Structure 1
Amino acid sequence: MSDNRRMDKHSKPKRKLKRWVKVVIALAALLFISTTAYAASVYMDAKSTINNQVYQSVDSIDDKVGSGKISREEPLNILLLGVDKRPNDSGRSDAMMVLSLRPEKNAMKIVSIPRDSRVDIAGEDYGYDKINHAYAYGGVDKSVATVEDFLNIELDYYVSMNMQGLSDMVDAIGGITVNNPIEWHDAGYYKKGYHYEKGKIHLNGPKTMGYVRMRYQDPRGDLGRTLRERQVIQAVIDKGASFNSVGKIGDMLDVLGNNMSTNLDFEDMKGLFLNYRNVRKNMESYQIKGEGTRIDGTFYFQVPEEEVQKVHDMLSKDE
């Protein structure tokens, strides 16, 4: 065999290998460019949606204080409001919780405030009333001020979600799974005939709304309802923050833009994601305790002073 033929025989595999390397590099480059372009597009869409549609400041919270805490990775208290608005109605806060983030402990707490809690509404003209009426008197601003006065805490941010938006968000992330404490058939608000089995169940958007709305078939009444609300919030946070939800960001942004308001701007949200992402490792929930009473024929949930102090300590920075 001649030297030329020997060289051709050994050079062909090398040429084929080089061609495959070039193909792999080209595909990798194309994938990188496509991913980068998608990420840039999502980034810009998210920034536009948050800053132009979702962000709304309130007089009772100084946004600069919260931004400073995020940059220093300090504890944060965030008021979560589930708002039920009907035509020709200013609406009420159907669900009210304080989300406490503790990055130094990699922990978070969700504290539910019963909507019938009898409190002194912030301001001189309102007196004592149900805490969920604060929203009807003055929107988010009045709700924030009333919760701060009630628990003697500082709220750094608020997040207000139209209750229909909760249904849309659950659908946008592909549903959630919760551990249902009791079995029942829906015969209440939605009357869809849903069967809620005891134990772990998967919920889509409409079924989630039936799950958090039901009260009268639960022997714990509103306390059972707030427990289910906390379950849903935790499940949405876990599912929304998972890697599997990355491809659903566009749908999630649409829901947020149409149904949510918050004084968190895009930079604050980025800071939360980067500096507080480990708080989900230890999630706790708590229901403010008290007892029902009637005053002048109206039902209220009366919270003892010692319980108010306990919750204050729970949500305070040094606890």
Structure 2
Amino acid sequence: MLLGGCSAGNLSEQHQVQPSSPSKIEDSTNHKDKKGMMNFLLIGSDSRGEPQSFSDAIIIAQYVPKEGNIKLISLMRDSYVKIPGHKKGYDKLNMAYFIGGNELLKKTIYQNFGIKVDHSISIDFDGFANFIDLIAPEGITVNVSQKMIDDFKMDVKPGENALKGRELLKYVRFRHDDESDFGRVKRQQEVVVKVKEQLKNKFSHIESLAALPDFVDESLDHVESDMDKGEILAVLSKLVFYPIKNIDSLRIPVQNSYVNKTYPHAGAVLEINLEENREALKDFLMKPSPVNREYQY
């Protein structure tokens, strides 16, 4: 399906358009079936211990264990969407998390994009650093730019470096280059894929599975989820027993489907063509993996 760009004129009144009923698109993008498909909402919060925080990363991971497929959808945090119950009506997507945590963010995603989330997991800065150090004590290798080094005063040289928890957190949060938040989203997806590989390597043998419960206990600090320990163990076990064959990724909004706008209550936002992005999501989720997309990322 070829999704063309749209003009700024088509988007200028987008904030006044009510999202259509999610049920109209839900059946085609969702969801649980005989293949055991699950939709997980992965949230990286900017919390440093405050009672409220914003979501730095918003990723939906659709996992089909028996097929060995994962589809990653990064939702840009500045997307201008309707938030249920919000007095302003429309606001940045990450405002939903600030106001109502995981649950309101799940509802907001469903009402705007028609994707029903089965489970959510949010992790703060300390939790992310701790988790990376647990699964990859020697670090995860990524390509670090000079701009990133200068911005965060990192003690590394440009090029490939194995970064441990605190340094890798800087890598996924960096946005002070020409790609800004769009580059940050790419790095977040990159690290999710590499984390999956580290998990597979760490628990690739039957003997190593005995360490899974202790690993989960150590990982749960600074983590909020609607799953209990047993459910988390079940998901991790599936990742071990059903090797991942394909990982596809998508960014919402897709290219040429948004304009930069500013509102007094929200600041700078991405005002998106909601219908175009719903169609991109539907196309991406319905196609078998690996997905060969005809629209621009």
| 1:5 paired residue number | none
Measured after TM superposition, the shift of residue 296 of structure 1 is: 3.0
Q: Does 1:284 align with 2:248?
A: yes
Measured after TM superposition, the shift of residue 262 of structure 1 is: 1.6
Q: Does 1:236 align with 2:195?
A: yes
Q: 1:176 to 1:251 in 2, by over 3 A?
A: farther
| 1:12 paired residue number | none
What's the TM-score, normalizing by structure 2? 0.72
Q: Pick from 226, 236, 239 the counterpart of residue 263 of structure 1.
A: 226
- Deviation readout 1:11-56 (Å, 9 max, x if unpaired): xxxxxxxxxxxxxxxxxxxxxxxxxxxxxxxxxxxxxxxxxxxxxx
| 2:117 paired residue number | 155
Q: Size of the alignment, in residue pairs?
A: 247
CA distance in 2, matches of 1:88, 1:177: 28
Q: Does 1:203 align with 2:163?
A: yes
| 1:212 paired residue number | 172
- Deviation readout 1:248-299 (Å, 9 max, x if unpaired): 7577435422111222234433443454543522112222224441233521
**Mapping 1:1-319, distance limit 5 Å:** 69=32, 72-86=34-48, 88-123=50-85, 125-173=87-135, 174-180=137-143, 182-188=145-151, 191-195=152-156, 197-198=158-159, 200-216=160-176, 218-243=177-202, 246=208, 252-275=215-238, 277-278=241-242, 280-288=244-252, 289=254, 290-296=257-263, 298-304=267-273, 305-315=275-285
Measured after TM superposition, the shift of residue 317 of structure 1 is: 9.6
Q: 1:92 to 1:230 in 2, by over 3 A?
A: same
What letter matches 2:248 in structure 1? E
CA distance in 2, matches of 1:302, 1:163: 28
Q: Is the 8 A contact 1:175 1:205 kept in 2?
A: no
Measured after TM superposition, the shift of residue 230 of structure 1 is: 1.1
CA distance in 1, matches of 2:212, 2:236: 14
CA distance in 1, matches of 2:278, 2:138: 35
Higher helix content, 1 or 2? 1
| 2:10 paired residue number | none
Q: 1:295 to 1:192 in 2, by over 3 A?
A: closer
CA distance in 1, matches of 2:166, 2:249: 24
What's the TM-score, normalizing by structure 1? 0.68
CA distance in 1, matches of 2:86, 2:286: 26
Measured after TM superposition, the shift of residue 306 of structure 1 is: 0.8
Q: Is the 8 A contact 1:172 1:251 kept in 2?
A: no
What letter matches 2:279 in structure 1? Q
Measured after TM superposition, the shift of residue 169 of structure 1 is: 1.1
SS of residue in 1 equivalent to 2:61: strand
Percent identity reads 26
Q: Is the 8 A contact 1:151 1:312 kept in 2?
A: no
CA distance in 2, matches of 1:315, 1:126: 31
SS of residue in 2 equivalent to 1:236: helix
Q: 1:111 to 1:150 in 2, by over 3 A?
A: same
SS of residue in 1 equivalent to 2:221: helix
Measured after TM superposition, the shift of residue 87 of structure 1 is: 5.2
Q: Is the 8 A contact 2:144 2:161 kept in 1?
A: no
Q: Is the 8 A contact 2:66 2:242 kept in 1?
A: no
Q: What CA RMSD, in Å, does the superposition of the two structures yield over aligned residues?
A: 2.9
> Runs of 5+ in structure 2 lacking a partner?
1-30, 290-297
CA distance in 2, matches of 1:220, 1:250: 39
Measured after TM superposition, the shift of residue 113 of structure 1 is: 0.7
